[in-house]
Structure 1
Amino acid sequence: MTEPAQIIEESDSEITIVWPDGSETRYSATGLRRKCPCAGCIDEWTGKKLLADDDIPDGLTFDQISIVGRYALNFHFSDGHDTGIFSFQYMRGLNEGD
C-alpha cells in the first residue's frame, strides 16, 4: 500500500505529498480536477475521459480536503465538484504538469 509520510497544504490551491521514500510531489487543484477519476469524469467501462481539460478553468482552489480511510483523499473543488476519490496509489502515479 502506498501511504504518504506527510500531506502539506501549501495554499488553497496546492498540496504537497511527501512519500515514504522521501520524494515529494506537488499537486495543484486545477491539475487534480483535470485528472479526477470519478465515474462522472471517466467512463467506468471504457476508461475514456469524459471531461475535456479546457472545460476546467485555471485557478481552481480546494474548498475542503478529506482523508478517506488510510488509502485516499477526497477534494471539494471550488467549481463544486466533489465526487472523486483519489487513492494514494493513483496520486503517486500522476505526473503533475500532464
Structure 2
Amino acid sequence: FKTLKYRPDFPERFMMIEDARSFCREFFQWYNHEHRHSGIAMLTPESVHYKYYPELLQQRAVTLAHAHERHPERFVKGKPIVKQMQNAVWINKPIQNATQSVANA
C-alpha cells in the first residue's frame, strides 16, 4: 500500500465510498499500465503479464547501446546493463517442504 498512500494526490480521507472507488480505479489503471516497477526490471505489470517484455527489453538494450556509443561520458560506470526478468518473483515465497507436504496429504 505504500505506493498508493505516498502518492501526492492521495487524500487524507475519502468522504464517500464512491470517492475511494473512483480514486482506486484510476490508481490501479496507472499502477498496472504506466508505473514501472523496480522488482520487474522497470517494466509495467501489464507488459509482464501479457509477455510484451522480451521485445521491450531488447529495444531498451539497443537504445542504451546507441546512447553509450554516442555519449560514453554520460555512463560513468561503463557500458549500461539492461536489467533482465527474473524467473520468479515472490511476495512470500512458499516453503518447499510445506508445499510438498500439502501435495502429499
Question: One fold, TM greater than 0.5?
Answer: no
Higher helix share: 2
| TM score, norm. by length of structure 2 | 0.20
| TM score, norm. by length of structure 1 | 0.21
Greater Rg by CA: 2
The higher-RCO structure (CA 8 Å, 6+ apart) is 1
